[in-house]
Structure 1
């Protein structure tokens, strides 16, 4: 099963998780936006790390230290992460364009 590195290790302060309990702390929109921004930044850095790992594995494959199936799995994970990042970017651009088209 392919495991996506972008969604692993989500912190307890993640905006995608719901707070439970009696003592809920209200976040300001600025704080929520900052958390979301840092989440996206972490996700993009993980995609970059996957790409670097594939390049290292490719070099190791050329000298015979890595099997072809390990290299292919790593490259597919990296490609899927990049495709997911591109789709998130496309949706963000579409949302921005839709907001700009709204009339006040």
Structure 2
């Protein structure tokens, strides 16, 4: 059956049973996504530090690029901290649930 919802072709969607994965694979996948995200945040922070240092030493003179890089690093770090807080709040809420 070929259904189109808002221009999305659903004929390519597989059966739900074929999309199941084991808990171990899901954990490994989540761990990899989390590791890559944290690595990305770190890379942006390091790049910002390098550009700021190069600006201070007079090696580059594009202040706009340095400021944009610093803001990207700052926003990414703030978003990461917010996600961390939400994850901790969710964990604490789950721990308070009575079974």
TM-score computed with the length of structure 2 as normaliser:
0.78
Higher-strand-fraction structure: 2
Higher-helix-fraction structure: 2
The Cα RMSD (Å) is 1.9
TM-score computed with the length of structure 1 as normaliser:
0.75
Q: Which residue of 2 aligns with 1:8?
A: none
| Residue in structure 2 matching 1:93, options 88, 91, 97 | 88
Number of matched residues?
Answer: 86
Q: Which residue of 2 aligns with 1:12?
A: none
Please state how far the C-alpha of 1:56 moved relative to its aligned partner: 0.5
Q: Which residue of 1 aligns with 2:56?
A: 62
1:39 matched to 2:33? The reply is yes
SS at match of 1:103: coil
C-alpha distance in structure 2 between counterparts of 1:74 and 1:44, whole Å: 17
Structure scoring higher RCO (CA < 8 A, sep ≥ 6) equals 1
Please state how far the C-alpha of 1:42 moved relative to its aligned partner: 0.6
Please state how far the C-alpha of 1:25 moved relative to its aligned partner: 4.5
